[in-house]
Amino acid sequence: MSMAFISSSCVKHQKIIDAIRELNAFGFNAIELSGGTKPYKSMREDLKTIKANEGIDLMLHNYFPPPSEDFVLNLASANDKVYQQSVEHCKRAIEISAELETGKFGFHAGFFIDIKVEEIGKKLSPSDITDKNRAYDRFCEAHTILTQIAGNDVQLYVENNVFSHSNNASFKGVNPLMLTNCETYQELKERIDFKLLLDVAHLKVSCQTLKKDFTTELQSLFNVSDYIHVSDNDGLHDTNNAIELKSSLYQELKQLNWSRKTVTLEIYEPLEKVKSSLENINLLLDA
C-alpha cells in the first residue's frame, strides 16, 4: 500500500510539536519530521503522545531530532568530530524511530567536503575535496554500524544529494557530493548494500548539472526505491516548489508505477499549495 507524508519543514516552528499541530489542523495526518526546529525537554514524550492520541503517522528524516549544537550531518566527513556527531545523531534518530514504530529512517549520502553550517542549502564555497576512497570507507563504516543498531526495527535509507548549477561553478565541474545520479548510485552500491531514498527534485537538478537524461535516470532509480521525496524546481536549484498537474515533472511522474511507495512532499509554499500537491500525488498513488 502506498502512503504520502508531508515534511514538517513545510511550516516554520521552534518546537516540532507545533509544526505537527499546524499541519494536522490543515488536514495532514502523516508527517515526516525534518530539520528546522529546536530541541526541548519533553519532545520525545510529545511525539509519543500525539501519535497515540491523535493517530498521526510519524517518520524521522535526516537532521531530526534537532541536535543541541548545530552541525552539518556528514557520515563521510574527514573531520573526526563531525563524523562522530553524525553517527551519534543517527543512532539517536534510530532509537526514537524504534520507539515511535516509524519503520523507516532516511539520511543523506555523504559529502567529499566539509560544509559549513551556514552553507547548507546554499551555494558552497570552494574547498578542498577529501580523498574519495577514505570518504567512501567512512560512510560505509557508519552505515554498517547504524544498520546493526537499527536491526529489524527500522529500515535505513540513503538519500541522493543535489548538485546544483551554482555549486558546479564553485567547484569547477568537480562533483563534491556522494550519490547524485545513477552512476554514483552504482559506485556506492558496489561498496555496501543499501536502500535508496530517491529525492526526485534533487535528481532533476543534478541531471541538468551533470548533463544526464532526467527521464532515463529517474526511471532507473525509481525502480530500485520504495521511498520517494517529491517537489519541483527549475532544474538549476532545489527550490521545493509545488507539484502542478500541467508541469513537465508531473508528466514524468505519471509514467512511473507508484504502487507500494512511501512518498514525502517537501514543498515550501503556502499550505494550500501543499494540499493541492498532495491531491495530485494521490492521483498517482491511487491509480
pTM (predicted TM-score): 0.95
Query: Would you write out the chain's pLDDT as a tens digit for each of its 287 residues?
Result: 778 999 999 999 999 999 999 999 999 999 999 988 999 999 999 999 999 999 899 999 999 999 998 888 999 999 999 999 999 999 999 999 999 999 999 999 999 988 776 666 556 666 677 889 999 999 999 999 999 999 999 999 999 999 998 888 888 888 999 999 999 999 999 999 999 999 999 999 999 999 999 999 999 999 999 999 999 999 999 999 999 999 999 999 999 999 999 999 999 999 999 999 999 999 999 87
Single out the residue of 13, 232, 194, 201 nearest to residue 104, CA to CA.
194
Cis amide leading into 176 (omega within 30)? no
Contact status, residue 79 vs residue 113, Cβ threshold 8 Å: no
Grid coordinates given for 22:
499546524
Single out the residue of 109, 78, 273 nearest to residue 178, CA to CA.
109
Q: Can you list the domains of the chain with their CATH numbers?
A: 3-285 (3.20.20.150)
* Burial status of residue 145 (CB atoms within 10 A of its CB: 0-12, 13-18, 19 or more): middle
